[in-house]
Chain A
Amino acid sequence: MTETKDFQKGYLNMELLRFTTAGSVDDGKSTLIGRLLYDSKAIFEDQMEAIKRASEQKGDEHVNLALLTDGLRAEREQGITIDVAYRYFATPKRKFIIADTPGHVQYTRNMVTGASTANVAIILVDARQGVLEQTIRHAYIASLLRIPHLIVCVNKMDLVNYKEDVFIKIQERFKELSVKLDVQDLRFIPISALKGDNVVERSGNMDWYDGPTFLYLLENIHISSDYNYVDGRFPVQYVIRPQADKYHDYRGYAGRIASGTFQPGDRVAVLPSGFTSCIKSVDTMKESLDMAFAPQSVVITLEDDIDISRGDMIVKENKMPEVGQDIEMMVGWLSETPMVMNGKYAIKHTTNDARCIIREMPFKININTLDKNYDDKGMVLNEIGKIKIRTTKPLYYDSYRRNRITGSVILIDESTNNTVGAGMIV
């Protein structure tokens, strides 16, 4: 029996952490990821053999770990990362999902995509080069997307003789620049991904550094408070009405809790109708719960019969979201087709669908210098700016800063059905 308990403790007691990496070909990102995967045994022998074969065929001098993540034929042929690649590894403490994104400015779209669900952003700085334009860009995107934790890895310390002052200078420069950014938790680690210093094992070459190793930090960084447990938000996804005698009167609202907690007896309001009721039960197939919280997927039933459908939102009465049709947001443009001022787009917000018109664009951001541009009123692929929209019906939302789920939208081009804009409500 104790054996089973130990077993469960070992395998079923892990947390999930999502992190994103952005970087260019030369800054050692692939080497760093390759090392994490290899050292945590997430690279298997047949995968290693396959990339060894491919590296030899291409005439590479060493095994090119980038081939692990560059999954598409075009990527391998051109030696570049085009799209977000997802990688997985686990240690006894946590399971990790890496969204590995290309770092060049023309792939800002992919960086935004990879960053949207991450708990942690990893930024690599080449110790020889210091803070570059792309470092600022990556940090800006991480802060715009409100990734709660930012880890700056100062890489290639072996090439600067592991000198402390190089590390400190980079750290100071980065802090100076990030004053303009809104970073909640910022960490710095001096590493050499190639030699393995401070990645998994503590480095013997940098006694002056007494902080954690990279993996230790990933395993221990506190993420359970990243969720918003204060504002009760339950976007209704689907209405459950079983066609069976046993559940004849059952009417449940299925959804995933966006934030806050819900428990039987809670007073709730339903938007947009504004009707109020009490929670009767919070159900799952195996059991009814005493309490549910973000990000659980559950079915909620109410004491009163109210007309509720997909797109409505069940909220806690004590803390209501904003309701409105004129909404301001930061938007990242994701399409080769430029944004059309006064153009109409479909909009998706939580489980709600609407249409909107883009009415104003106060400014856009130069993502390399973080300067605001008030004159240029156009927005093209990979640009980020502030817009004001009007929607066809009221949305119930929070600021993105407060709530990543109820504060985010996507804009869709109605002629191509492509997702063209990523919006974060101000």
Chain B
Amino acid sequence: MEKYNLNHLRVLEAESIYVIREVAAQFEKPVLLFSGGKDSIVMFYLARKAFWPAKVPFPLMHIDTGHNFPETLEFRDKLMEKTGAKCIVARVQDTIDQGKVVEETGINASRNVLQTVTLLDAIEAHKFDTALGGGRRDEEKARAKERFFSHRDEFGQWDPKNQRPELWNLFNGKKKMGEHFRVFPLSNWTEMDIWQYIYMEDVEIPKLYFTHKRKVFFRDGVWLADAPFMVKKDTEEVLEKDVRCRTIGDITCTGVTLSKANTLEEIIQETAATRVTERGGRYDDKRSEAAMEDRKKEGYF
């Protein structure tokens, strides 16, 4: 039976493509949530594979906190141009200007939580009935409980204790008016799988993931990138270091890693040797033990 062997990445790929196609078939107006990070890049790449030679039959949407690494936006725009895909941008700044949310202030101020409101508003405004997200179950313990097809009520809420059973490859996307779904095609991927896949398929990713010199400062065990809107304590000293991003998100809550990894091989070796989770550098998860579960119940990614 040797000739019928698929490696683990090919099995995961086949599963994700199947899920993405189910979304296109079962829903009327899907959207793919795109952050410019490696997971959403891989998800979009898989979506292109799923429908080739046709184009991906739904748009992408970027929830823009306004606190981006400039390289992310540049990468996003180039990718859209290259693939002919359409990316809707929903801005947290607009939600703030409309008075729907109040911006946090102070040292740990972040727009990360505010994104949920922008996201739910955009889903409603565009009448999207499902949003594809790049969340993975290995990222965080609340995510480990997530279904591929995750039902949201008319308020966009997730009810983790009352999820639909998901069996075999039969996905139940039935819903009532006003409800929507979040779908996570990368559920079974780990951080390592993502990197190995990027390597195997030669998927293009932003340079931020490779080592570069950057002005950073140290807070609560995490190196944070310096930027004009970052509020620092007097004791926090800005230094220039060789760093790379392990995850890319809002600058205010995405830590960077001290690293000299300059190739995908080196990144994979570093990932294999690391003893801290990817989200260990995520400031947004450190707020409480159940920070992710609470945000997800409200409608977070």
Chain A residues close to B by CB (< 8 Å): 4, 7, 11-16, 41, 44-47, 50, 54, 68-74, 76, 82-88, 90, 94-95, 97, 109-110, 112-113, 116-117, 224-225, 227, 229, 237-238, 240-244, 246-247, 250, 252, 254-256, 261, 283-286, 293, 295-297, 299, 310, 334, 346, 348-349, 351, 404-405, 408-410, 412, 417-419, 422
Determine if A295 and B14 form an interchain contact, defined as CB atoms under 8 angstroms apart: yes
Task: Report the Cα distance A408→B166, complex, angstroms.
Answer: 12
Give the residue name and chain of the A residue nearest to B160 (CB): A72
Give the residue name and chain of the B residue nearest to A109 (CB): B165
Give the residue name and chain of the A residue nearest to B84 (CB): A244
Interface-located stretch among B18-26, B27-35, B228-236: B18-26
Task: Report the Cα distance A261→B1, complex, angstroms.
Answer: 12
Interface footprint category on B: 35 or more
Task: Assess whether B145 is interfacial by the CB under 8 Å rule.
Answer: yes
Find the residue from A225, A286, A417 having the highest chain B CB count within 10 A: A417
Contact of B18 among A14, A74, A297 (CB under 8 A): A297
Determine if B17 and A348 form an interchain contact, defined as CB atoms under 8 angstroms apart: no
Determine if B277 and A44 form an interchain contact, defined as CB atoms under 8 angstroms apart: yes
Within B248-288, which residues are at the interface with A (CB < 8 Å)? 265, 268, 274-277, 280
Determine if B141 and A296 form an interchain contact, defined as CB atoms under 8 angstroms apart: no
Task: Assess whether B226 is interfacial by the CB under 8 Å rule.
Answer: no
With A88-B138, A254-B51 already in contact, the answer to whether A422 and B165 are too (CB < 8 A) is yes
Task: Assess whether B174 is interfacial by the CB under 8 Å rule.
Answer: yes
Contact of B275 among A45, A72, A86, A422 (CB under 8 A): A45
Determine if A410 and B196 form an interchain contact, defined as CB atoms under 8 angstroms apart: no
Determine if B172 and A419 form an interchain contact, defined as CB atoms under 8 angstroms apart: yes
Residues from chain B with a CB closer than 8 A to the CB of A285 are 48-49, 52-53
Determine if B277 and A46 form an interchain contact, defined as CB atoms under 8 angstroms apart: yes
Residues from chain B with a CB closer than 8 A to the CB of A86 are 137, 144, 187-188
Task: Assess whether B86 is interfacial by the CB under 8 Å rule.
Answer: no
Determine if B141 and A71 form an interchain contact, defined as CB atoms under 8 angstroms apart: yes
Task: Report the Cα distance A410→B149, complex, angstroms.
Answer: 15
With A16-B12, A417-B172 already in contact, the answer to whether A54 and B289 are too (CB < 8 A) is yes
Task: Report the Cα distance A283→B17, complex, angstroms.
Answer: 14
Contact of A44 among B175, B200, B275 (CB under 8 A): B275
Determine if A50 and B54 form an interchain contact, defined as CB atoms under 8 angstroms apart: no
Task: Report the Cα distance A334→B290, complex, angstroms.
Answer: 28
Determine if A240 and B53 form an interchain contact, defined as CB atoms under 8 angstroms apart: yes
Residues from chain A with a CB closer than 8 A to the CB of B124 are none
Residues from chain B with a CB closer than 8 A to the CB of A247 are 53-54
Contact of B165 among A88, A241, A334 (CB under 8 A): A334
Residues from chain B with a CB closer than 8 A to the CB of A85 are 141, 144-145
Find the residue from B138, B141, B277 having the highest chain A CB count within 10 A: B141
Determine if B6 and A296 form an interchain contact, defined as CB atoms under 8 angstroms apart: yes
Residues from chain B with a CB closer than 8 A to the CB of A240 are 51-54
Give the residue name and chain of the A residue nearest to B179 (CB): A417
A392 vs chain B, min Cβ distance (A): 16
Task: Report the Cα distance A76→B48, complex, angstroms.
Answer: 40
With A71-B141, A95-B8 already in contact, the answer to whether A297 and B174 are too (CB < 8 A) is no
Give the residue name and chain of the A residue nearest to B200 (CB): A12
Contact of A412 among B4, B10, B172 (CB under 8 A): B172
With A54-B289, A310-B25, A419-B165 already in contact, the answer to whether A299 and B170 are too (CB < 8 A) is no
B165 vs chain A, min Cβ distance (A): 5
Task: Report the Cα distance A404→B137, complex, angstroms.
Answer: 24
Give the residue name and chain of the B residue nearest to A227 (CB): B4
Determine if A13 and B7 form an interchain contact, defined as CB atoms under 8 angstroms apart: yes
Residues from chain A with a CB closer than 8 A to the CB of B8 are 14-16, 94-95
Determine if B11 and A238 form an interchain contact, defined as CB atoms under 8 angstroms apart: no
Task: Assess whether B161 is interfacial by the CB under 8 Å rule.
Answer: yes
Residues from chain B with a CB closer than 8 A to the CB of A310 are 25
Task: Report the Cα distance A254→B53, complex, angstroms.
Answer: 11
Give the residue name and chain of the B residue nearest to A3 (CB): B265
Find the residue from B13, B143, B160, B164 having the highest chain A CB count within 10 A: B164
Residues from chain B with a CB closer than 8 A to the CB of A50 are 289
Determine if A46 and B280 form an interchain contact, defined as CB atoms under 8 angstroms apart: yes
B31 vs chain A, min Cβ distance (A): 17
B218 vs chain A, min Cβ distance (A): 16
Determine if A44 and B25 form an interchain contact, defined as CB atoms under 8 angstroms apart: no
Determine if B138 and A419 form an interchain contact, defined as CB atoms under 8 angstroms apart: no
Contact of A295 among B11, B22, B51, B166 (CB under 8 A): B11
Contact of B167 among A112, A224, A417 (CB under 8 A): A112
